[in-house]
Structure 1
């Protein structure tokens, strides 16, 4: 089994909180390697497949793996939060220098504008071929995700996310 599939299997069965870290294509392989290494360390096995079998067979090992996964999740969340803090700090520094973040503003404008155009094209032409509708809807989904990210960046995270951040902060003390 390839490393990412195996790591997803491990995370899905024993540490579901780690799955969100696989969605970033830049970090998926690193997270997969970390999950596999944790499983091998906890179980004392040589191969990832042996580690998976050991975790399935021994509930005590599965619990140890879950605890290690929670710690890893905390560290990954800290890294993600630090990355966002640096981006927001950049915006603050630009504002203090009397400059605007044209790049961010243009990205937000094009994401929202593109989403509006997608909705317009679908609403305007009811006889559009199904393949074209599927393509436009796919693009709209990507743009909606970009708009969500823009709003999340500009207006901060949700209340539940703030509670999670406080929990992570308390765990790191």
Structure 2
């Protein structure tokens, strides 16, 4: 069985793991870390055997959930590494006097796509069947989410993100 399949199986035992298996993250690295926790806890040599043991033993499953909570800071670090590196790259480009034209173009195309969808919806909503309106609305929302993500990358996502940064700094020994 591949690491993702085993990792998702383990996430059924400890549902708090599901947040680490989203788009844009490094799910294989997270899955391998979680499999390691399961193998250490169960003493099994493979991820499949560890998963089977946890599925069969409710007490071990509870211990696994506790072990996952204890290693949450490490999992958060793996989850956030890709964004940190991207921000560092962006800052380094700016300090070297380069503009991130690719990112600028992505934002422009997202804005143009969103505006185009909204214009089509406004101008032709009475002539379009409901399915087409739904499809164009979905496309517009995707463009809007892309713009939101660009703003979160540029300005930080939320207070919760700052709280995670503080948690990771404390867990990593820096303050």
- TM (norm. structure 1) is 0.76
Query: Which aligned pairs between 1:5-44 and structure 2 lie closer than 5 A?
Result: 5-16=5-16, 18-24=17-23, 27-44=26-43
Change (3 A) 1:73 1:128: farther
Distance apart, 1:152 and its partner CA: 0.7
5 Å-filtered alignment, 1:6-155, equals: 6-16=6-16, 18-24=17-23, 27-45=26-44, 48=47, 51-52=50-51, 54-56=53-55, 58=57, 60-70=59-69, 72-126=71-125, 127-155=127-155
Instruction: Give the SS at the match of 1:98.
Output: coil
Structure 1 unaligned spans of 5+: none
Give the drift of 1:155: 0.7
Q: Deviations over 1:1-36 (max 9, x none)?
A: 8754553242243251x2122113673344334433
Residues 108 and 147 of structure 1 are in contact (CA less than 8 Å); yes or no, is this contact kept in structure 2? yes
Deviates more, 1:66-75 or 1:152-161: 66-75
CA RMSD across the alignment: 3.0
2:111 touches 2:143 (CA, 8 Å); kept in 1?
yes
Q: C-alpha separation between the residues in 2 aligned to 1:169 and 1:61?
A: 31
Structure 1 position 158, deviation (Å): 0.8
Number of residue pairs the alignment of both structures matches: 172
Deviates more, 1:104-113 or 1:57-66: 57-66
Q: Structure 2-normalised TM-score?
A: 0.76
What is the CA–CA distance in structure 2 between the aligned matches of 1:49 and 1:94, rounded to whole Å?
A: 44
Q: Give the distance between the partners of 1:32 and 1:82, measured in 2 at CA.
A: 15
> Does the CA-based 8 Å contact 1:15-1:69 persist in structure 2?
no
- Give, in angstroms, the shift of residue 153 of structure 1: 0.8
> What do the CA deviations read for 1:99-126 (whole angstroms, capped 9, x no partner)?
3221111111111221222222222212
Classify 1:14/1:91 alpha carbon distance in 2 versus 1 (closer, same or farther; 3 Å): closer
